Chain A
Amino acid sequence: MKFSIGMLCAIAVVFTAVPAAAEYADVVLNRRAEKEGMRPVVFPHWFHRIRFQCRVCHAELGFKMRVGSNDVTMNDIADGKFCGACHNGDIAWSPDRCDLCHSGKPGLPTGIVGGHETSGPGRW
């Protein structure tokens, strides 16, 4: 029965994984990072919203409010765009601290984590 085979796979995977108790609104960014040999990036909303209003990133810096829709490269960051608008050694630590951003578990797909409840691509 197809159903039980699916279930068995799921069991195997669940057993090897750790609890996904990630903080609400953490974002995993992994469009390119892992393909280029780096760990996925974890962006913590909670940490940044204590310091900045949403508008700074989502209006001033132009991050689109849809996970995966911003094509960020390290070149942009070094040029002071996206994360690099702040992580420039002036407002926040500079991009040479690779391991602080590239801290995700290998294999994580791009997406918002932490028990979000709306699904589907963030469309309007």
Chain B
Amino acid sequence: MKLHSLITLSLAVSVLVTPALAQKSGKDVYGKTCAVCHATGIAGAPKYGNAGDWSPRIAGGTGRLYGSALKGTPKGMPAKGGNPSYSDAEVKAAVDYMLAAVKTAAKPTATPPQNPVAKEEPKPEPKVATSTPKVDKAEPTPTAAAAMAEAVPVGDVNAFNRLLKPLGKRNPPPPEDGIHDPANDGTHALLPPLTAYAGLPKSLAGNRVNWVEAIGTKKINPRWDRTDPKAEPVVMDLNIVREVKGSMPDVVYPHKQHTEWLDCSNCHPAIFVPQKGANAISMAAILLGEKCGVCHGKVAFPVSECRLCHSKKKDLARPAQAAASVAK
């Protein structure tokens, strides 16, 4: 969940900032793109704020780091973080932003340098939110505080949950959600999500609706055909087990839950060759919006829900196998 809230937070911030700035700030670019790998150190990426990860790299000079960020490296750093639409200056600003974090982390700040979430949070000092100029404080503080001031009422620093979004702030109605224009009459005619979700099974992420259960228990009955409410999907019950190296449980990819919503042609052959094991899938690719990440993390449940995909305990005695049972 920590990963989830960090990324949500950084994205929330960057989504806000983007429209007004012609050139995105380093923090924006970091939050929108680099953080997916560098916040937690996915695939061996040097972690944000972790001086140990960065110092040997910094030794080679900032120029070299710019080069790696712009052109990519063979060891997994994609050119421009995988987003060629960034200008060189934006990518360099993101590198500067990441380097600044290691420099401030070297100074004694009250937060553990390992934890970027904590770093970004406002210190429990209500004054910060009013941006009182402070000498020698970590620079990220005021911005983060500004963002947080909206999420957490100022003065509520000792509230039980400081960062977990309170129930009332989730799934806001359109006029308050930050993207609909409240000055537009139509906005007020739109349905608030919570009204629609009232009778639906809950989940902990995304829309906070368990869509699989909702359709399985017929709480909702989305049409398979645009015009014919009676047409039924061809549901295929075929699980594909993908063995995962390391300690994470294996991934079970279920055709059933997917073919309840999707057409074979949505995945085959553009995203996946229909052959077990024929596709190289990795978390890095998923986080970049490829493979499973084409849908998961955008429309289907987000990547923070590790257990939904990594659902098969490692069975060391037998090799993993596809439990193929084709029903109707």
Chain A residues close to B by CB (< 8 Å): 2-4, 6-7, 9-11, 13-26, 28, 39, 42, 44-47, 49-56, 58-61, 65, 85-86, 91, 97-109, 111-113, 115-124
A106 to B19, alpha carbons, bound, how many Å? 9
- Does chain A have a CB within 8 A of B134? no
A contact residues around B289 at 8 Å (CB):
118-123
Binds A, one of B237-245, B246-254, B292-300: B292-300
Taking a contact as CB atoms closer than 8 A, the residue among A10, A21, A39, A124 that contacts B169 in the complex is A21
- Please state if A99 and B184 are interface contacts (CB–CB under 8 Å): yes
A2 to B291, alpha carbons, bound, how many Å? 37
- Does chain A have a CB within 8 A of B156? no
- Taking A7-B25, A51-B223 as known contacts, 7 extra A-B pairs with beta carbons closer than 8 A to each other, sorted by chain A number, are A13-B20, A13-B21, A15-B146, A44-B190, A91-B227, A115-B7, A118-B303
25 contacts between A and B (CB under 8 A): A3-B26, A10-B28, A13-B17, A17-B17, A18-B176, A19-B178, A20-B11, A21-B169, A23-B172, A42-B180, A46-B209, A49-B299, A54-B263, A59-B265, A60-B263, A99-B187, A101-B186, A105-B178, A109-B19, A112-B299, A113-B179, A117-B8, A123-B290, A124-B270, A124-B291
- Please state if B207 and A47 are interface contacts (CB–CB under 8 Å): no
- Please state if A86 and B4 are interface contacts (CB–CB under 8 Å): no
Q: How many of chain B's residues have a CB under 8 angstroms from any CB in A?
A: 96
B contact residues around A18 at 8 Å (CB):
16, 150, 176, 178
A contact residues around B19 at 8 Å (CB):
107-109
A contact residues around B28 at 8 Å (CB):
10
- Please state if B8 and A56 are interface contacts (CB–CB under 8 Å): no
- Please state if B16 and A3 are interface contacts (CB–CB under 8 Å): no
> Chain B's nearest CB lies how many Å from the CB of A9?
6
**Contact of A120 with B81 at beta-carbon distance under 8 Å, contacts A11-B146, A100-B186 already known:** yes
**Contact of A23 with B226 at beta-carbon distance under 8 Å, contacts A99-B184, A105-B180 already known:** no
Taking a contact as CB atoms closer than 8 A, the residue among A3, A26, A55, A107 that contacts B97 in the complex is A3
Taking a contact as CB atoms closer than 8 A, the residue among A21, A52, A55, A108 that contacts B266 in the complex is A55
> Chain A's nearest CB lies how many Å from the CB of B180?
5
**Contact of A52 with B179 at beta-carbon distance under 8 Å, contacts A10-B28, A98-B186, A100-B190 already known:** no
- Does chain A have a CB within 8 A of B115? no
- Does chain A have a CB within 8 A of B54? no
Taking a contact as CB atoms closer than 8 A, the residue among A2, A28, A47, A55 that contacts B262 in the complex is A55
- Please state if B261 and A54 are interface contacts (CB–CB under 8 Å): yes
> Chain B's nearest CB lies how many Å from the CB of A64?
10
- Please state if B270 and A59 are interface contacts (CB–CB under 8 Å): no
- Does chain A have a CB within 8 A of B114? no
- Please state if A53 and B297 are interface contacts (CB–CB under 8 Å): no
- Please state if B299 and A25 are interface contacts (CB–CB under 8 Å): yes
A60 to B262, alpha carbons, bound, how many Å? 11
Taking a contact as CB atoms closer than 8 A, the residue among A22, A99, A122 that contacts B179 in the complex is A22
**Contact of A91 with B184 at beta-carbon distance under 8 Å, contacts A13-B16, A21-B176, A120-B289 already known:** no
- Please state if B178 and A122 are interface contacts (CB–CB under 8 Å): no
> Chain A's nearest CB lies how many Å from the CB of B105?
14
A42 to B182, alpha carbons, bound, how many Å? 13
